[in-house]
Amino acid sequence: MLNRLQESDIKLLRVFYAVASCNGFTAAEPVLRMQRPNISAAIKKLEERLDLVLCHRGRGGFQMTKEGEVVFQETKRIFNAFDNFVFNLKSLHDDYSGHITLVLMAGLPLSIHLAVSRAVKSTMKKFDDIHVNIQTRLYNEVEHVALSGECHLVVSTYDMVKPESVTFHTIGTSCNGRLYCAPSHPLAKYRDVDALPDNIRIEDYPAIGISGLSSANYIDGDSRLAIQTFSDSFDAAMSAMMTGEYVALLPDYMAKEQGVALGLVPIANGNLFTFSHELFVMNGKNTRLNPVLRYCIKELGYFITESQK
């Protein structure tokens, strides 16, 4: 079993990372500039070094094992941190080249994704030798990735007490939402009323919570949602909600983009458990904000604000 990483192990991990990212040996050939037999040999050697089976390959196609998934995620963290280290080291010499890792909270609307792409394009145009890795993380992971050195910048809402170890750059845009249910849910018939009848108690209906979201979101006056289960994203909560068994807090942009097809119902005319979560660009205090990152933050703020007009 591997006890210490050697330079040869790093090379093998890069081969595995490329294969896993490309979801197959053949697709990884042009990325690695290696032929399949050499790739296969490298993966086999890595498996021997780790004493683990990382993937299955054969007639059924490429498939990672559970152990391979763990190694892939840990390898991604290592290489992200290493790329960030190289980028920060170069910036000490006024060399603004290399890779920036930008993390987006999962489930953001298409308009914000397009705004982020424009901001990234603008940054790459101004700084010729910059490449940007764009990744997504769940809501309850964004603080960790901002602090861990896995990325340079995070675009996310944040509804908890703000830790001093993270810097929050205000964009001036909020994600608003309210309480929804599926068209088959008993409360769906109260779509067009401003308030629920006195004999209807919202506490009597099971609700879905979002992991990491402040509990204050589940309280509205004297009413409290009866959280029976949790999802790790608004998208997952919507999937569970569509069973007709639960009510859930959802951003309005999800209802706007997908609500027509799914028949999402804002309970009590959308007046229950409303929320407004401000959007931020975040970075850990240990991230050195050189001119590239400062420019990228400025462009993210500009294009995201423009996209919401």
- What's the predicted TM-score (pTM) here? 0.73
- Concatenated DSSP letters of 274-306: -EEEEEEEEEETTS---HHHHHHHHHHHHHHHH
- The pLDDT of residue 60 is 66
Domain housing 109 = 79-169+278-307
Angle between helices 25-32 and 7-22 (to 10 degrees): 120
Asked whether residue 1 is assigned to any structural domain, the reply reads no
- The pLDDT of residue 104 is 95
101: three-class secondary structure by DSSP: strand
- What is the distance between the alpha carbons of residues 217 and 230, in angstroms, rounded to a whole number? 14
Question: Any idea which residue has 């959007």 for tokens?
Answer: 279
Shared-domain flag, residues 185 and 159: no
Q: Quick one: tokens of 62?
A: 């490429």
Asked whether residue 220 is assigned to any structural domain, the reply reads yes
Shared-domain flag, residues 155 and 119: yes
Asked whether residue 243 is assigned to any structural domain, the reply reads yes
Shared-domain flag, residues 56 and 185: no
Shared-domain flag, residues 253 and 271: yes
The CATH number of the domain holding residue 291 is 3.40.190.10
Angle between helices 291-307 and 110-126 (to 10 degrees): 150
Shared-domain flag, residues 300 and 179: no
Asked whether residue 63 is assigned to any structural domain, the reply reads yes
Asked if 234 and 227 count as a contact pair (C-beta separation under 8 A), the reply is: no
Which residue, of 47, 75, 103, is where some domain finishes?
75
Q: How far apart are the first and last CA of the chain?
A: 56
How many distinct structural domains can be found in the chain? 3
Q: Write phi, then psi, for 209 (nearest 5 degrees).
A: -100, 160
- What is the distance between the alpha carbons of residues 261 and 244, in angstroms, rounded to a whole number? 15
Please give the chain's pLDDT, 309 residues, in tens.
566 778 888 889 999 988 988 888 888 898 888 898 899 999 999 999 999 999 987 776 788 899 999 999 888 888 877 877 777 777 777 767 788 899 999 888 889 999 999 999 999 999 888 889 898 998 888 888 888 877 899 999 998 888 899 999 999 899 999 999 999 999 999 988 888 888 899 999 999 999 888 889 999 988 899 999 999 889 899 999 999 999 999 999 888 877 667 889 999 998 989 999 999 999 988 888 888 999 999 999 999 999 987
The CATH number of the domain holding residue 18 is 1.10.10.10
Q: Write phi, then psi, for 99 (nearest 5 degrees).
A: -110, 135
Q: Which of 37, 55, 57, 36 is nearest to 47 (CA)?
A: 55
- Concatenated DSSP letters of 201-226: -GGGSEEEEETT--GGGGEETTEE-E
Strands 55-56 and 63-64: antiparallel
Asked whether residue 66 is assigned to any structural domain, the reply reads yes
- What is the distance between the alpha carbons of residues 102 and 115, in angstroms, rounded to a whole number? 13
Asked if 96 and 291 count as a contact pair (C-beta separation under 8 A), the reply is: yes
- What is the distance between the alpha carbons of residues 57 and 247, in angstroms, rounded to a whole number? 43
Shared-domain flag, residues 94 and 154: yes
- What is the distance between the alpha carbons of residues 182 and 302, in angstroms, rounded to a whole number? 36
Asked whether residue 27 is assigned to any structural domain, the reply reads yes
Asked whether residue 2 is assigned to any structural domain, the reply reads no
Which residue blocks in the chain are alpha helix, DSSP H?
7-22, 25-32, 36-50, 66-91, 110-126, 142-148, 234-241, 252-262, 291-307
Asked whether residue 17 is assigned to any structural domain, the reply reads yes
Q: Which of 266, 215, 268, 210 is nearest to 235 (CA)?
A: 210
